[in-house]
Amino acid sequence: MPSIRHALPWIAASLFFALASIFELIPRSLAQTMIVVLPALMVASLNGKACALRRKGA
């Protein structure tokens, strides 16, 4: 499991979108989309493994 400091920027980004939506700085639909997408991006980037689709020879 990655250390918490690697996850802090992702947590901050999620909080930013949530707060920006609450204060109506961005459209609610955008905030909802980003709050769904950001955790998936976090898991993919904090995984630490090479992409399975990447060719071994490349």
Q: Where are the domains of the chain?
A: 4-46
Q: Is 17 exposed, middle or buried (0-12, 13-18, 19+ CB in 10 A)?
A: buried
pLDDT (average), residues 43-54: 68
Distance (Å, whole) CA 36 – CA 3: 22
2 band by pLDDT with thresholds 50, 70 and 90: low
pLDDT at 49: 63
pLDDT at 45: 82
pLDDT at 43: 83
pLDDT (average), residues 30-55: 79
Contacts of residue 2, defined as CB under 8 A and 6 or more positions apart, other chains included, come to 46, 48
pLDDT at 4: 80
Task: Give the tens place of pLDDT for each residue, 24-41.
Answer: 999 999 999 999 999 888
Are the C-beta atoms of 31 and 18 separated by less than 8 Å?
A: yes
